[in-house]
A and B are shown apart, each in its own frame.
Chain A
Amino acid sequence: MSELERLDRFLQTDPRDVGCEEAMAVLNIYVDHTVTGGDAAERYPGVAAHLAACGPCGEDFTGLLLAVTGA
C-alpha cells in the first residue's frame, strides 16, 4: 500500500459509522454473533464500520472476543 493510500484510508469516514456509544452498547451482542459464526459485520454494518475506524473501540472488541473465547 502506498503512502497516499494509507493516508486516504486514515482519512476515510464511513457514513454508516454509529460512533462509540452505540457500538459499545451492543458490543456483547456483536461479539456473541461473531463467536457463534454469524456474519456480525453484515448484520451490524454500522458497528463494523465503527470498530474498523475507532482504535479504542476496536481494542475493546478484541479484548472481549478474547475474553469469551478464552484465547
Chain B
Amino acid sequence: MVATPEGSSPGSVAIVELVEPTERELDAESADWVRRLSAGDGTRRREAEGELHARLVRIALAEVNRRSGSTPVTGPELTDVAHQAADDAMLAILAKLKDFRGESRFFTWAYRFVILEVSGKLGRHYWRNPPVALDAGQWENLPDRLGINPQQHAEAAGILAEVGRVVQDELTAHQRRIFVAIVVDGIPLDALAARLGLQRNAVYKVIFDARRKIRRALVAKGYLDDQGLEQR
C-alpha cells in the first residue's frame, strides 16, 4: 500500500490497498435483486422497490435508535430522520444501481447508503436543539475532554498550557475554530461539518493535523514519549 507521506493528511493519496476488481460475478441473491430492481416489468420492479424500501426503513429505525444516546434529536423527530434517510437512500440506490459491480453483497452495498444518510441527517438535525452553541469555547472543560485531571497529575497544568499554546499559535483561525468546537466543546463532527458546510473528511483532516502538532509539542516538552505511530 501507499503510506501517507510525512506532512500530508489522511485521504490525500491514492490508496493501492483499496483497489478491487471492477467486475465480479454477483452472488445469486445480489444478482436477483439487481434483476428485479432493473426489470422492465413495472409490477415486478415496484414490488422489489417496495420490499427494499421496507428493509431500508427497518435498518434506519434501528440505527437511529442505536444512536439515540449520542444525539439531542429525540422522539418523533428521530423517527422522521429514519424515514427521510430511508427515502433518500432508496433514491440514491436506484440512481446508482447500474454502478453496482458486486464488490460486496448487494445488501451491504445498499445498506451503506442508509447508514450514511442517518449520519448526515443526525448531524444536520443536531442544530435544531443544540446542547452546545457553536463557538462556545468552553475551555474549562478541556481537562475533562483530554482526560487530564490537574488535581491528580502534577504535569497536567503544563500539558494543558502547551495544548493551549499550540492551538493558539500553530493553528489557523479556521483550524482553531474546528478544534475548539470538536475537542473543547464536544460538538459531534458530523454536526459541525453540516453547520460549516464542509465534508466530514475536511473536518477530520483538521483534527488529525492538530492532534499531530499537539503530540509533537508535548513530546518536545518531554511530556510524552516520542515512540508514536509515526515512528513505527
A residues with CB within 8 A of B: 3-4, 6-8, 10-29, 31-32, 35, 43-47, 50, 53-57, 59-60, 63-64, 66-68
Contact = CB atoms under 8 A, between A and B. Distances in A.
B147 A56 contact: no
B186 to A, nearest CB: 11
Given A7-B159, A16-B1, A18-B15, A29 B6 contact: no
Given A10-B146, A20-B204, A54-B204, A60 B10 contact: no
What size tier do the contact residues of chain B reach? 35 or more
B67 A59 contact: yes
B17 A46 contact: yes
Given A56-B200, A57-B204, A63-B63, 4 more contacts: A3-B153, A19-B12, A29-B104, A59-B119
Interface in B62-114: 62-63, 66-67, 103-105, 107-109, 111-112, 114
Max chain A Cβ within 10 angstroms of own Cβ: one of B15, B20, B155: B15
Contacts of A45: 1, 17
A68 B53 CA distance: 15
A56 B218 CA distance: 26
A66 B66 contact: yes
Contacts of A66: 62-63, 66
